[in-house]
Amino acid sequence: MSSRNPLAAILGCAGPVLTADERAFFGETDPLGFILFARNVETPDQVRRLVDDLRAAVGRADAPVLIDQEGGRVARLGPPHWPTYPAAARFAERFIHDPDAAIEAAELNARLIARDLRGLGITVDCAPVLDLPVAGADPVIGDRAYGNAPPQVIALGRAVCRGLLDGGVLPVIKHLPGHGRARVDSHQLRPVIDAPWEDMEATDFAPFRALAGMPWAMTAHAVYTAIDPDRPATLSPTLVSEVIRGHMGVDGVLLTDDIGMRALGGDFATRARDALAAGCDIVLHCNGDRSEMAAVARGARPVDADGQRRLAAAVPPPPLDFDPEAARARRESLLG
């Protein structure tokens, strides 16, 4: 992190090229960083130019650039310029028969993803998903999960984090304190999870506690009635301070899920203000809509002292030496 104190927001842009209006807006508002989606992606050279232009707009070469590159159906990079990566469920299935093979394959897979991202200048991957789906849950998590047993999800999630970090990319554990019980998709509706604390403590919370030392984490836009019956986790001071920071021990950069999702009510300035007031370090707004981003900027504040400290500790490491062709072959062999 530079010595400047940017706006506590990660924002998107509308297309594959930064417009003059976007450049001026980002220069004026100075968001901490940016997130890319499929609409921003055409070719490797184009993505590299866009990443450089986004960082130049805020005058910070270390501005975080994020992407959702989980594999499976959540992948912003894909053919013909980037390979298709397996969904988390593929590693979960392999784990049942050969845990060691699944763990090694998950780590190699994440290392390959990190190589793709690092080569584009992308420094943060919004993965892994550590949620534990239950019967009857909405399929929004589904095959994005590494299983529904805490030890398995912990082992595979840790392997993914290790692979990303070895490739010089920061992982984001998500969605705290656990989205697996949600019976509706928070992109469209607000999930209300009525499970008792004891049940969540024994299952949903376990992967996040085990990986609490990861550099970034992301909140869920779900209500947990046993903790705060009135506010979703993203907007709940009780949930952020007492559960995520206190009970789970998460001290990495805490990012909201996309505040453009319909699970949150109110205008965008209020959403941003309330999320930061609840204890989130950074608000995430993804769709690149100029008027919505302007409202987010009005509601957000500069990164506070705790956020600055966490960001300073979350510096992408230099990638380790790596043979991608050998890694691909080994991953395929391990997955059978």
| Residues identified as active-site | 187, 257
Query: Which strands make up the sheet holding 223-224, listed edge to edge?
Result: 192-193, 223-224, 228-232
**Alpha carbon separation from 159 to 47, 99, 129, 146, 209 (Å, rounded):** 27, 12, 12, 11, 15
CB-based contact 164:175 (threshold 8 Å):
no
**What is the token pair recorded at 23?**
């450049």
Please say whether the dihedral angle defined by the alpha carbons of residues 290, 255, 73 and 200, taken in this order, is positive or negative. negative
Q: How many CA atoms lie within 13 A of 8 on its CB side?
A: 29
CB-based contact 67:126 (threshold 8 Å):
yes
Beta bridge partners of 66: 35, 124
Output phi, psi for 65, to 5 deg: -120, 120
CB-based contact 227:265 (threshold 8 Å):
no
Residue at token pair 């991202």: 117
